[in-house]
Amino acid sequence: MAQGAAQQRQSSGGVLRTIHYGIGPIGAEIARVAAAREGVEIVGAVDIDPAKVGRDLGDVVGLGRALGVTITDKAQDLFAATPADVVLHTTGSYLAQVRPQLEEIVDAGLNVVSTCEELAYPRAQHPDIADELDRRCRQRGVTVLGTGVNPGFVMDTLALVLSGACQDVTAVRCQRVVDASSRRQPLQKKIGSGLTREEFQQLVDARQVRHVGLYESVAMIADALGWRLDRVEETTAPMIAEEFIKTDYFEVPPGRVTGVDQVGRGLVGGREVITLSLQMYLGAREPRDAIQIEGTPNVDLVLRGGTHGDRATTALVVNAARRVVEAPPGIITMKDLPPATWFK
């Protein structure tokens, strides 16, 4: 099993040495954010794309300068040869799919921050994988965190932080309204832009039009607040164009799909105590994140303009990395991590 060099942990307060695993759009943005930080030193990069392997990370992510880090497709060799503190991992949304990668990283003695949506609260849907990964983490003395804007921040962590100012909490409602018009083509496609209602429904049934993570956020909130949910529901409906909409990638006539209206619900005894509503569509009006806590006192929060998904996710991964390196071994989630504050 590859290890050794990787286990030379950083000294406290020192520079964070990062390996970047997955150099897609999000991984590339994380690399650009990390490269701009005084407190971060990029020491390695992994991707399986033959068009990227062998090239300098700085060139591939459009940094305009070389970083002296060559992208490799041989992760184990890299881990064995490269002292590092944490792997920033961005290769997939589903825990079962990325599990072998995560186990390889952990077995190499490296901490992980991943954008894998299901890892944001892995016990929600995969308690067995979570238990095994947690066991390996403790064995190797490393920590694994899944984070991102959602799940990981606006619809769970931020609501839980706010609950701290409440004497009593009876319900948590979050709304996220995202205008997908200016987002990446894959995201516009993923939300069903341009489809008919029927095509949209087929993809929903095949779980191909679906934001991953509402289930995880519902579970994180419920566990943190001590609510035993009887039921978690998730529904996905299309948003429909009322007028002609054109983006850089799609033209959507009236009556066609512009995006998704996805709702996650947590129920206790028939009462809906958690409602997470995610509307992500082309031309969304008044994009925003909102959180209402029903309790004493009520909390009524608005993030005006919303939180840009890619900007915030990539920031959270880098900002949380420092906290993860400091954290005790095991799987940790954002609800138990000290604030992942920005650093230089």
Contacting residues toward its own copies, per CB under 8 A:
33, 36, 39, 149, 153-154, 157-158, 160-169, 224-226, 295-305, 307-308, 311-312, 314-316, 318-320, 335-344
Of the candidates 235, 248, 154, the residue with the CA atom closest to the CA atom of residue 193? 248
Residue 163 or 262: which CB sits closer to its own copies? 163
**Which one, 3 or 170, has the nearer CB to its own copies?**
170
Could you tell me the smallest distance in angstroms from the CB atom of residue 326 to its own copies? 9
Strand ranges (DSSP E) for the chain?
16-21, 40-46, 71-72, 86-89, 111-114, 143-146, 168-179, 231-240, 245-246, 251-252, 257-268, 271-281, 288-296, 299-304, 330-332
CA dist list (Å): 76 to 42, 73, 116, 240? 17, 9, 20, 47
CB of 108 to its own copies, least distance (A): 27
Least Å distance, CB 284 to its own copies, is: 16
Our CB check for its own copies shows the closer of 2 and 154 to be 154
Residue with tokens 């489809």: 195
3-state secondary structure of 77: helix
- Cis amide linkage into residue 297, ω under 30° from 0: yes
Provide the minimum distance between the beta carbon of 162 and its own copies in the complex, in angstroms, as a whole number: 8
Taking the least distance from each CB to its own copies, the nearer of 170 and 196 is 170
C-beta of residue 217 within 8 angstroms of C-beta of residue 150: yes
* C-alpha Rg value of the chain to the nearest Å: 20
Closest CB 308 distance from its own copies, rounded Å: 5
Residue 203 or 274: which CB sits closer to its own copies? Answer: 274
Q: Which residues lie across from 266 on neighbouring strands?
A: 232, 274
- For the bound state, the minimum distance from the C-beta of residue 70 to its own copies, rounded and expressed in Å, comes to 25
Question: H/E element holding 219?
Answer: helix 214-225
CB of 267 to its own copies, least distance (A): 17
Closest to its own copies by CB, 55 or 173: 173
Least separation, in Å, of the C-beta of 123 and its own copies? Answer: 16
How many Cβ atoms from other residues are within 10 Å of residue 51's Cβ? Answer: 9
Nearer to its own copies, 6 or 162 (CB): 162
| Dihedral angle sign, alpha carbons of residues 107, 113, 116, 118 | positive
Nearer to its own copies, 6 or 280 (CB): 280
CB nearer its own copies, residue 55 or residue 288: 288
CB of 32 to its own copies, least distance (A): 9
Note the residue count of the chain: 344
CB 141 within 8 A of CB 329: yes
How many beta carbons lie within 10 A of that of residue 317, not counting itself? 31
